[in-house]
Chain A
């Protein structure tokens, strides 16, 4: 019984063993094939994976790759550092509004605005984090929740950025490397987001394996002890917020450039909770887990659309069942341990 359980759950360890034993060339080939498959996904035209009402390639862009990007960003805050952020949508909104306002009112194009969108979101992370990160746990969660709402309500009440009607006629990105970004075709946006997602994954993984990653994990495990061990906890928590914010802002700018009109109603608490659900459902702290979570939680409601409003019930049921079977998420954070014989 125990043996059976072990062998059935060990797919991940088997892959891990193969990965550890693989030489660099094999790993590179594996990466290229996998990334190639993801780039080719919009070409798929299969009734099994197709979604009713919306085309598969538009679902790929939003929510799948968008949710993935945001989940990877939020995972730095929630999964790595253990800071519960219930207002992540604020950074997404700031990125979206930055692109919308700047592309309408300045001659800058999407590519030039992108650093601003990320920069303002980072600044927002810093401004929110400096006072808020001195608090912990529930208190911090409430403040982030409030921040998410504040950003939305400010947008509703600021006529200069369209008030509750929002902004329309937002320009899309200029063509780049011969790829045109049109209103009708979501695939270029998917490829763009996927590319940026890969860059973000690369960055987050680098940081995770090094000093900042250890500092974040130490903070998550025991903040007081991290401080006693010389970790500048406030600085690293701020960095987590700033990096999470930058990724959220990036996602927001791309989103605004694709849908071409934004309203404050797009940036409600629901979206914060949704992205948080992706992180928790997929496996807090594991970058592959949260992406899997984002893909499943983004895809399921679209696929279940034939059930009309009942799909929300099935969606909820899926989450309840999953969290009972795997309370730590689909792919929990788990470092593979190495056991050695005592050499004495």
Chain B
């Protein structure tokens, strides 16, 4: 039984009178690709926003590598080892690709502003380390040739991948990918699947939100299904594909089952 790197325990989220997540339990094991699927509005992105500290749950807890992160600010949680991407690409558009990645890498060093101003030994070492890491990750993701281009000028697919590189710069224990294949053609989806496996093999656990079922079923070790804020199923891709509740949630149930 491998170690649980991320645990979400009994998360309840109420927005006014609406229950967005109802007692949801999820976990991500070391070295696995876990997927979170569900129809639109099921609460998948809300789960990400809870994990990364953007929302506070009404009740329940989030544990990263044995440590509760409830109540921490998003930047503190990021430094604990959670990197995320966004459903709608949110890069720092007016910064170069390398700077985008370096900004995330920066947050793991302790250099202060005064040190940067006067060029302390530590700040210079950290500066070099951030840049080296940025270029190393851009190489890993296959974007070295884009390093000095503005993020906003990159082609769509490269922007998606740059977001992944930026999240990886946080050395995440768990990488949270929010619909990384959105807008990709079949060929690009296959490449993305290979990339996610490569990321897993590098030692990062992955939690993936995705609508593309062939991608999810192809690369995931474990799939959880959300519907109307409830977890309705969890299991291997093969089990999920046969689960009647999942099929009903996606296809709908006939009102009159005669």
Q: Does the CB pair A230–B170 fall under 8 Å?
A: yes
CB distance from A148 to the nearest CB of B (A): 25
Complex alpha-carbon distance, A221 and B104, angstroms: 14
Q: Does the CB pair B148–A214 fall under 8 Å?
A: no
Complex alpha-carbon distance, A220 and B95, angstroms: 11
A179 at the interface (CB under 8 A from B): no
The stretch from A66-74, A165-173, A298-306, A336-344 touching chain B is: A336-344
Complex alpha-carbon distance, A48 and B84, angstroms: 59
The stretch from B4-12, B105-113, B192-200 touching chain A is: B105-113
Complex alpha-carbon distance, A232 and B72, angstroms: 12
Interface residues as binary, A213-244 with B (CB distance below 8 Å gives 1, 0 otherwise):
01101101110111111111100100100000
Residues of chain B with a CB closer than 8 A to A230's CB: 75, 78-79, 104, 106-108, 170
Residues of chain A with a CB closer than 8 A to B145's CB: 340-343
Q: Does the CB pair A217–B94 fall under 8 Å?
A: yes
CB distance from B169 to the nearest CB of A (A): 8
Residues of chain B with a CB closer than 8 A to A222's CB: 90, 92
CB distance from B175 to the nearest CB of A (A): 13
Q: Does the CB pair A207–B116 fall under 8 Å?
A: yes
Complex alpha-carbon distance, A322 and B13, angstroms: 51
Given contacts A231-B103, A337-B150, contact A225 B92 (CB under 8 A): yes
Q: Does the CB pair B75–A233 fall under 8 Å?
A: yes
- B104 — nearest CB in chain A belongs to which residue? A229
CB distance from A232 to the nearest CB of B (A): 5
- Interface positions of B from 82 to 130, Cβ below 8 Å from A: 83-84, 86, 90-96, 99, 102-104, 106-109, 111, 113, 116-117, 119, 123, 126-127, 130
Q: Does the CB pair A228–B92 fall under 8 Å?
A: no
Q: Does the CB pair A206–B116 fall under 8 Å?
A: yes
Contact among A214, A218, A227, A236 for B74, CB-based, below 8 A: A227
B153 at the interface (CB under 8 A from A): yes
CB distance from A205 to the nearest CB of B (A): 10
Given contacts A210-B127, A214-B95, A221-B93, contact A228 B117 (CB under 8 A): no
Residues of chain A with a CB closer than 8 A to B65's CB: none
CB distance from B90 to the nearest CB of A (A): 5
Question: Interface range on chain B: under 10, 10 to 19, 20 to 34, or 35 or more?
Answer: 35 or more
Complex alpha-carbon distance, A335 and B97, angstroms: 12
Complex alpha-carbon distance, A217 and B94, angstroms: 8
Q: Does the CB pair A211–B149 fall under 8 Å?
A: no
- B97 — nearest CB in chain A belongs to which residue? A337
- Interface positions of B from 232 to 249, Cβ below 8 Å from A: none
Residues of chain B with a CB closer than 8 A to A232's CB: 75, 107
- B126 — nearest CB in chain A belongs to which residue? A211
Contact among B78, B96, B149, B153 for A229, CB-based, below 8 A: B78
Residues of chain A with a CB closer than 8 A to B117's CB: 203, 206-207
- Interface positions of A from 301 to 344, Cβ below 8 Å from B: 333, 335, 337-343
- A341 — nearest CB in chain B belongs to which residue? B145
A115 at the interface (CB under 8 A from B): no
Complex alpha-carbon distance, A221 and B103, angstroms: 12
Q: Does the CB pair A338–B86 fall under 8 Å?
A: no
Interface residues as binary, B26-59 with A (CB distance below 8 Å gives 1, 0 otherwise):
0000000000000000000000000010100000
Residues of chain A with a CB closer than 8 A to B179's CB: none
Complex alpha-carbon distance, A88 and B149, angstroms: 34
Complex alpha-carbon distance, A214 and B95, angstroms: 8
Given contacts A230-B79, A337-B153, contact A224 B54 (CB under 8 A): yes
Complex alpha-carbon distance, A224 and B90, angstroms: 10
Complex alpha-carbon distance, A226 and B92, angstroms: 8
Contact among B75, B90, B103 for A214, CB-based, below 8 A: B103
CB distance from B4 to the nearest CB of A (A): 22
CB distance from A340 to the nearest CB of B (A): 5
Residues of chain A with a CB closer than 8 A to B149's CB: 337-339
Complex alpha-carbon distance, A210 and B153, angstroms: 22
Residues of chain A with a CB closer than 8 A to B150's CB: 335, 337
Residues of chain B with a CB closer than 8 A to A231's CB: 75, 103, 106-107
B221 at the interface (CB under 8 A from A): no
Residues of chain A with a CB closer than 8 A to B148's CB: 337-340
Contact among A217, A227, A236 for B73, CB-based, below 8 A: A227
Residues of B within 8 A of A (CB): 52, 54, 73-75, 78-79, 83-84, 86, 90-96, 99, 102-104, 106-109, 111, 113, 116-117, 119, 123, 126-127, 130, 144-145, 147-150, 153, 166-167, 169-170
6 pairs of residues in contact across A and B, judged by CB atoms under 8 Å: A212-B113, A214-B99, A215-B106, A225-B90, A229-B107, A340-B147
**Lowest 10 A-B CB distances belong to which pairs?**
A230-B107, A338-B148, A230-B78, A221-B92, A229-B104, A210-B116, A342-B145, A227-B74, A214-B103, A211-B106
Given A211-B106, A212-B116, 13 other A-B contacts at CB below 8 A?
Answer: A206-B116, A207-B117, A210-B116, A211-B109, A211-B113, A214-B102, A215-B103, A217-B94, A217-B99, A221-B94, A227-B78, A229-B75, A229-B107
